Structures are given as C-alpha cells and as structure tokens.
C-alpha cells in the first residue's frame, strides 16, 4: 500500500531524535546531562494546577467552542494587547492546543501552493516542514554577526530573496535557537519589507515573556502591521507548562475565523478544563512566573560563564529564550571535524552530555562557514550544568 506523495515534503523536529538517543544512553545506565530539548524541569505554578483541579471537579469536562472559551479569549485579548501597547478583541483570538499548531493553520489560511515564504534558518524546524508540506516554497534567511558578540538578521539576504511570488514572512523575534533579539531598527526594517511587498506575517512570539532585562516589543504594534500579522502565542514557556498544550493565534478577524474553522475540523476544541485553568492566572499574573525567570537567569549565567571558559567556544549571554547557540568552529577545526553532529554524538557517547546542533534547525544554507551547537538550559539544574560544562571543557579542549 502506498502512502501519499506529499509526505516526501513533511519534515519534523529532529531534536526529538536526539531525545531518543539520550534516553537510549540513559537506559544503558548512564547519567545524561540534558541540554537537547526546550522542555522544562520546573513545575507549573501551583495556582494553575489548583485552577485546573477546580475546573475538573466543577465539571468543565465536555466540549467547548472550537474558537476557545469566551473567558480565556477575552483574558488573552486584554493581556496580549496590553503587553504590546495594542488593543485586541476576543474575536481576534483563537485558542489552540499549544503554540505549534498556529504555524500550520496560519499557512493553510494565507498561503497558496507555489507561494514563496520567507523563514528564519537556523530556526524552528516546523516552519520549513509546514511550508513545504503544504505546497509552498520555503525561502530561508539567516543571521550575521552583529559585531557585539551576538547575531542579527541578514537583512541583505532577506531583501534580495523577495520576488513577486513572496507572500508570507515568518519572523521569530526572541529567537529559537540563537536567543537573538531584534533591535528597534531591525524590527522596523522587517516591518517595512512586509509593508512594501504586501506580505502576511507570522510573528512567532513563543518567548515574548522569556526575556531577562529588556522590555518586549512586537512587530504587530508597528503602524500598518496589525492588519497583516498573526501572533503565535503560547502558555508553554511562560508558565512552565509545555505538556499541557495551550496556546493561541491572535490576529485580524478574517484569518482568525478561518483558523477557528480549521480547529473545528482538526481537534473540535482545545481541552476545556485546561482553558478554564488559565483565565485567572492570566488576569492576575501570579508572581510564580517571576520565580521561573529567576531560575532561568541563574542557569543562563552559569552556563554562559562556563562555556566562555572553554577554549574555542564563542558565546555571549542572550537576552531572551532559554537557548544558547555557541560558535564551536574553532573546536571543530582543532579536532579536524567536518560534521558538527560528530561533536554531538561523541559528547553523548563519551561524556554523557546531550545537545542539538545547527543541523536540527533547518537545512544548512550554502556558504555557511561557522559551526554551532544549541544548548537548552530549561531542563537542567545549576549543579548539573556545572558538571556538564566541565565535561564539555575536557572534551572540546582535548
């Protein structure tokens, strides 16, 4: 029996394959130091758990509207608007089982077969997968060194990739895997491109609240952008609740109406009692989220300081996300390695440290000269970070 031809174009999140390799290594009796997945080992705030238990015991266990419960749509419209200096109405919010489904549903709503879609690469791998699976043409744009030890968007590449067929731009400020944050001028330049070329924009703001010192800003708030931008919102990272599966799409009503119809076709509705559990925490913004950020900041600082002490590793502390994307080109050169995944394989097999590499975040672009690994510190405590980095030091400097 043959399967559908379009499956040849379906990608995946290969970080999950690294998880499987790490689990197999652990099953052989080894302790694994896990830096591979953007999952969290922090508990979901107790107030959210209490709200969910209450919702179940009060009987919110049946179907609810495909667009989401009105109370959560209203709470999110208010919260997302307030945090961006904008105003949204509840009918511009579509509740989703996580942030990830927004990517495929948004593309289904705005992209025709053959349309070109600009997407960040390295970037979250589901962009490339969903664009191609749904018959679009995935056009990558990368990053360049910003001269201050960080990365900025390759605006020249971005501009020169635009053709009359370009219809959509995916923009992930507070970026996975690099942790990069757009400057005000960079965000304005991206918005200008979208406006000049009449593009739809998916603003993936999964890490909007995972920001250490700066104040978050959204491309949707730039004049002219609201009408063409859908925001990907997720509760996963902000409230340490990756496995609950709760997120939302926020944008112009005509697109949100289509996404709601897709919800009804796909999952009917997002789990009723989970939606109900988040209404109060969103409205009240409990202090527990500050505790999550404190923990992440401590981990980031320990990990960055440790990595900076390894000869041949280049990294500066990113301002957002819980990812580090160190440049390991010199380590690779010293070892005479071509394939950065060899570093990943050996680190796990011989030093019990698991991480992803640049190769897990989209097909590498022609002409890339630097090599990167990606460490997520959302699922590993400080003592283990210290022990793991001591191991990496031994291995990388050997």
Give the binding site for ligand PLP (CB under 6 A).
Answer: 38, 98-100, 124, 172, 176, 204, 206, 232, 234, 236, 242, 247
DSSP bridge pairs for 145: 151
CB 147 to ligand PLP: min, Å: 25
What angle separates helix 15-27 from helix 340-351, to the nearest 10 degrees? 20
What angle separates helix 101-110 from helix 125-133, to the nearest 10 degrees? 40
- Residue closer to ligand PLP (CB basis): 267 or 346: 267
Contact 17, 11 (CB under 8 A): no
CB 379 to ligand PLP: min, Å: 12
Q: Reduce the DSSP state of residue 199 to 3 states and report it.
A: coil
CB 253 to ligand PLP: min, Å: 23
- Residue closer to ligand PLP (CB basis): 98 or 136: 98
Nearest 5°: phi and psi at 173? -75, 150
Q: How many CB atoms lie within 10 A of CB 82?
A: 11
Task: Output DSSP code: residue 320.
Answer: B
- Residue closer to ligand PLP (CB basis): 247 or 379: 247
How far apart are the two ends of the chain, measured CA to CA in Å?
Answer: 51
CB 278 to ligand PLP: min, Å: 13
CB 330 to ligand PLP: min, Å: 28
CB 232 to ligand PLP: min, Å: 6
- Residue closer to ligand PLP (CB basis): 206 or 219: 206
Place of tokens 């080894």: 30
Q: Reduce the DSSP state of residue 64 to 3 states and report it.
A: coil
- Residue closer to ligand PLP (CB basis): 18 or 331: 18
- Residue closer to ligand PLP (CB basis): 15 or 347: 15
């Amino acid at each position: 029996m043959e399967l559908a031809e379009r499956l040849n174009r379906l990608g995946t999140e290969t970080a999950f394959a690294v998880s499987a390799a790490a689990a197999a290594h652990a099953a052989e009796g080894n302790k694994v130091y896990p830096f591979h997945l953007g999952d969290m080992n922090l508990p979901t705030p107790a107030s959210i758990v209490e709200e969910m238990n209450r919702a179940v015991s009060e009987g919110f266990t049946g179907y609810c509207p495909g667009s989401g419960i009105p109370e959560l749509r209203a709470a999110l419209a208010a919260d997302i608007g307030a945090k961006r200096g904008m105003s949204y109405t509840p009918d511009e919010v579509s509740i989703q089982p996580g942030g990830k489904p927004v990517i495929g549903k948004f593309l289904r709503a705005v992209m025709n077969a053959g349309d070109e879609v600009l997407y960040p690469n390295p970037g979250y791998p589901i962009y490339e997968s969903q664009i191609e699976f749904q018959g679009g043409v995935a056009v990558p744009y990368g990053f360049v060194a910003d001269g201050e030890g960080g990365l900025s968007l390759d605006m020249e590449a971005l501009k020169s990739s635009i053709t009359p067929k370009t219809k959509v731009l995916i923009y992930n400020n507070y970026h996975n895997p690099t942790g990069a944050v757009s400057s005000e001028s960079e965000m304005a330049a991206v918005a200008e491109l979208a406006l000049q070329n009449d593009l739809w924009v998916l603003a993936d703001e999964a890490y909007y609240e995972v920001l250490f010192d700066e104040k978050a800003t959204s491309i949707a708030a730039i004049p002219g952008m609201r009408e063409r931008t859908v925001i990907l919102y997720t509760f996963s990272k902000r409230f340490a609740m990756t496995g609950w599966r709760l997120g939302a799409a926020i944008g112009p009503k005509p697109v949100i109406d289509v996404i709601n119809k897709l919800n009804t076709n796909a999952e009917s509705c997002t789990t009723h009692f989970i939606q109900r559990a988040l209404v109060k925490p969103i409205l009240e913004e409990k202090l527990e989220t500050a505790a999550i950020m404190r923990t992440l900041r401590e981990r980031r600082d320990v990990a960055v300081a440790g990595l900076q002490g390894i000869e041949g590793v280049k990294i500066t502390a990113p301002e957002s996300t819980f990812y580090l994307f160190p440049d390991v080109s010199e380590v690779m050169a010293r070892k005479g390695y071509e394939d950065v995944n060899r570093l990943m394989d050996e680190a796990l097999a011989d030093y019990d440290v698991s991480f992803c590499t640049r190769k897990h975040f989209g097909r590498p672009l022609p002409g890339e000269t630097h090599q990167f690994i990606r460490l997520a510190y959302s699922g590993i405590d400080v003592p283990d970070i210290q022990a793991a980095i001591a191991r990496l030091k031994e291995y990388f400097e050997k």
